Structure 1
Amino acid sequence: MSQVAATASPDSAIDVGFSGLRIRRVAGHIGGEVLDFRLSPDLKADAVEVLHAALVRHKVLFFRRQGHLDDGAHQALGALFGEVVAHPTVPSPEGTKLFELNAEKGGGRADSWHTDVTFVPAFPKLCILRAVTIPAFGGDTVWANTALAYERLPDHLKQLAERLWALHSNDYDYGAERLEDADASTSRQRLSHHQQVFVSRLHEAEQPLVHVHPVSGEKALLLGHFIKRILGLSTTESARLFELFQSRVIRPENTVRWQWQQDDVAIWDNRATQHYAVNDYGSQPRLVRRVAVQGVPAVSVDGQHARDATPEAQRAA
Structure 2
Amino acid sequence: MSEAALIDRIIPCSDVVKRAARIGAEIRNIKLSGDLPSHTIAAINSLLLVHKVIFFRDQDHLDDAEQERFGIRLGKLVPHPTIDSIEGTTSIIEFDSARGGSRADVWHADGTFIAAYPKISVLRAIVIPPFGGDTVWSNTTAAYLDLPLPLQRLADELWAVHTNGFEYAGKARVREIDKKHFDEVFTRTIFETEHPIVRVLPETGERALVLGDVVQRFVDIGKRDGQKLFELFQSHITAPENTVRWTWQAGDLAIWDNRATQHYAVNDYGDQHRVVRRATIDGDVPVSVDGRSSVTRLKVTKQPPMEAT
Q: Which TM bucket (shorter chain)?
A: over 0.9
**1:227 aligns to 2:215 (yes or no):** yes
> Aligned equivalents of 1:20 and 1:217: distance in 2?
25
Contact conserved, 1:120 with 1:203, CA < 8 A, in 2?
A: yes
1:72 corresponds to:
65
Could you tell me the percent identity over the aligned residues?
45
The Cα offsets for residues 120-166 of structure 1, whole Å up to 9 and x where unpaired, read as 11111111000011011000000000000001100000011000000
> Aligned equivalents of 2:204 and 2:241: distance in 1?
22
**1:62 aligns to 2:67 (yes or no):** no
1:146 corresponds to:
140
The Cα offsets for residues 159-186 of structure 1, whole Å up to 9 and x where unpaired, read as 1100000011111110335235xxxxxx
Structure 2 counterpart SS, 1:84: coil
Equivalent residue for 1:90, pick from 83, 87, 106: 83
**1:52 aligns to 2:7 (yes or no):** no
| Divergent runs of 4+, >4 A | none
Contact conserved, 1:103 with 1:287, CA < 8 A, in 2?
A: yes
Q: Which amino acid aligns with 2:271?
A: S
> Aligned equivalents of 2:126 and 2:9: distance in 1?
29
1:248 corresponds to:
236
The Cα offsets for residues 50-82 of structure 1, whole Å up to 9 and x where unpaired, read as 100100000000000000000000011111111
Q: Which amino acid aligns with 2:10?
A: G
Equivalent residue for 2:34, pick from 41, 58, 65: 41
> Aligned equivalents of 1:195 and 1:256: distance in 2?
31
5+ unaligned residues in a row in structure 2: which ranges?
301-309
Structure 2 counterpart SS, 1:57: helix
> Aligned equivalents of 2:289 and 2:102: distance in 1?
35
1:310 corresponds to:
298
Q: Which amino acid aligns with 2:233?
A: F
Per mean C-alpha deviation after superposition, the further-off stretch among 251-260 and 302-311 is 302-311
Q: With structure 1 as the length reference, what TM-score do the two structures score?
A: 0.90
Contact conserved, 1:179 with 1:191, CA < 8 A, in 2?
A: no
> Aligned equivalents of 2:36 and 2:184: distance in 1?
39
2:200 corresponds to:
212
Structure 2 counterpart SS, 1:299: coil
1:102 corresponds to:
96
Structure 2 counterpart SS, 1:290: strand
**Alpha-carbon shift at residue 92 of structure 1 (Å):** 1.4
> Aligned equivalents of 1:265 and 1:109: distance in 2?
18
C-alpha spacing 1:16/1:173, structure 2 compared with 1 (3 Å): farther
**1:127 aligns to 2:117 (yes or no):** no
Q: Which amino acid aligns with 1:74?
A: Q
Contact conserved, 1:16 with 1:23, CA < 8 A, in 2?
A: no
